[in-house]
Amino acid sequence: MSNGLVKKLSPAFILPDHVNEKGHVTNRNASKVPYVHWPNKAPCYEANAWMLHKWKTGNIKHARRDDGGTLRTYGSNISHLLRFCYDNRIELSDLTDNTFKLFMQGLQAEKNENGKLTRQSNQVLAIGRKCIEFLVFVGELSGNTSLIGERGCQIEAYEYTYQKPYGKRGKTKAEKYWTHASFPGPSPKIKKLPVSKDVVQRLKDECKNEKDKGLRLRDELMIACFEQSPGRRFEVCELKVEDFINASNSIGSPVQLKMYTAKTQEDEADRFVPVPRAFINKALHYIRVIRRPLIRQKLGASKDHGYLFVSHTQATQVAVGFFNQRLTTIATRAGIAFEPYAPHLWRHAYITQKFIIAIESYDLENQDAFRKALLSTSKLKMDLQQWTGHKDIGSLDRYIDCAFNEITQMGKIYDQMHLAASVGIIKDELESIMHQMSKATRLTEVKESTSRLFEITETFKEELELAALKRKS
């Protein structure tokens, strides 16, 4: 369920698709098209009609394999409006500019139990835009063409077209979006950094403390999947036992692991990702020791669905949200619950690390030089595009900045080098003072050496304090 009003239907659910040349109705699997209802459990005709419309006409062919995916997000967005209309006893077709403003104000003002705003501006904006798009459909469905429009309509909204960069440099595609006077401005973009090596290591260390052997091996394999491949959550969820068996039978290292590409409009969108053979062997160990006996016990060998990650209580394929939940559990135990560790950050780390290796191999010092090198030798970017499943090769450019940022943590190395130099100088000074004190024959010489020793100590103290501040920052 999503927001209480969106549900997943039975895996056996089908809908008529078209009539073939023989006059027979051809059905289409619609098992994961979301079903939307009102708070009183009554079906919402308009919302479900919109879901079907988006399913039939939208570029969301992967939704059937993704528990709704994009469609579920759309349903979740409009469910806020459905709840508002239900609570205020307003028909969708009777909404006005003022009532829609009240709805948007409620979204922006809503707070959680801690007194903090429930949603950021970008989330409110996404909900508002999708609700306007939905109401346009409601108007068309009911024949009320004055429901949404620029002037003299019940709700005055405006549709804009902008050119979004796409594909090769300079190439764009037209995209449309709705705006309304009640919409907030966008939130400032927060740069998402890759998951840090320290966080990864602490998660790995915490996995070792899991007493249940099956859960421990599955947790370790989950982390290995996100670390050793650029797979999205859904793509890792779709990994199958046969993929690892086939990879293990290939020759050489790294081996090629087949992965499904989620964000594509193609029905068959598999790609092959190079991974260490040790990773494949790790997965096979889990399959042999934990998964296979579990399947036999819970389902029976003949009913094996083939998916790698399974529930240890029912042996069914895990849901996409399982990975977030499990990582949160491990992170909480490790005491790093507030550190960034979400699955998509591992994907960032994978791509960034590949660029770091490339930059170091090129022995280049700045982004511009590296980009010029990539223009002449673009194989790396094409390989990464294949491995990661990026539709737009240009979208990989942002990872170059991340790679250089990580490499230029050299600033910290420079600080360490500076501190080491200070230690060397102080060591030399102390040796000199000790030598001088051993040779001193007068009290003034001893006092002078003592004073110098105090100065050096204070200087070194300052150096240590500065180094500590830089480390914290």
Provide the 8-state DSSP code for 317. B
In this structure, the answer to whether residues 233 and 326 fall within a common structural domain is yes
Phi-psi region of 68 (alpha: psi -120 to 50; beta: other; left: phi over 0): left
Domain end point (choices 304, 324, 341): 341
- Which tops the pLDDT comparison, 72 or 355? 72
With pLDDT > 90 as the criterion, what percentage of the chain qualifies? 31
Residue 424: pLDDT band with limits 50, 70, 90: very low
Is 402 part of a structural domain of the chain? yes
Q: Tell me which of 166 and 118 has the higher pLDDT.
A: 118
353 and 303 assigned to the same domain: no
46 close to 92: Cβ distance less than 8 angstroms: yes
Q: What are phi and psi of 362, to 5 degrees?
A: -75, -20
Residue 211's CATH number: 1.10.443.10
Q: What is the pLDDT of residues 212-245, one digit of tens each?
A: 989 999 999 999 888 888 788 888 999 999 999 9
Q: Which of 94, 286, 105 is nearest to 182 (CA)?
A: 105
Choosing from 355, 383, 407, the residue where a domain stops is: 407
CB 81 within 8 A of CB 3: no
One domain for residues 212 and 132: no
Residues 244 and 359 in one domain: no
How far apart are alpha carbons 121 and 126 in whole angstroms? Answer: 9
Q: Is residue 150 in some structural domain? A: no
* pLDDT tops 50 at residue 408: no
- Domain presence at residue 288: yes
Given a contact cutoff of 8 angstroms between Cβ atoms, the answer to whether 232 and 385 are in contact is: no
> Is residue 330 over pLDDT 90?
yes
Res 452 pLDDT > 70: no
Q: How far apart are CA 322 and CA 249, in angstroms?
A: 29
Bridge partners of 160, per DSSP, are 177
Same domain, 328 and 354: no
Per-residue confidence (pLDDT) for residue 192, from 0 to 100: 62
pLDDT band per the 50, 70, 90 thresholds, residue 411: very low
Three-class DSSP category at 258: strand
- Domain co-membership, 117 together with 228: no
Q: Is residue 1 part of a domain?
A: no
pLDDT at 23: 80
Q: Please give the residue that has the higher pLDDT: either 429 or 86.
A: 86
Do 352 and 240 lie in a common domain? no
Say if CB 370 and CB 400 are below 8 A apart.
yes
The answer to whether position 166 is within a domain reads no
Q: What is the span of the domain harbouring residue 72?
A: 6-145
Among 341, 362, 386, the domain boundary falls at 341
**pLDDT of 267-311, one tens digit each?**
456 778 888 888 888 899 999 999 999 999 999 999 999 999 999
Same domain, 234 and 317: yes
User: What is the number of structural domains in the chain?
Assistant: 4
Cβ-contact 38, 82 below 8 angstroms: yes
- The percentage of the chain sitting over the pLDDT mark of 70, rounded to a whole number, equals 69
Residue 163 belongs to some domain of the structure: no
Average pLDDT over residues 182-202: 79
Lowest mean pLDDT: which of 6-10, 73-77, 236-240? 6-10
Domain annotation covers residue 156: no
In the predicted structure, residue 132 carries a pLDDT above the cut 90:
yes
For residue 160, tell me if it sits in a domain: no
Co-location of 206 and 333 in the same domain: yes
Is residue 323 located within the same domain as residue 402?
Answer: no
Q: Pick the range with the lowest mean pLDDT from 59-63, 153-157, 294-298, 463-467.
A: 59-63
Residue 434 pLDDT > 70, yes or no? yes
Q: What is the pLDDT of residue 24?
A: 81
Neighbours of 409 (CB within 10 A): 10
One domain for residues 401 and 434: no
137 and 212 belong to one structural domain: no
The mean predicted confidence, pLDDT, of the chain is: 77
Above 90 in pLDDT, residue 34?
A: no
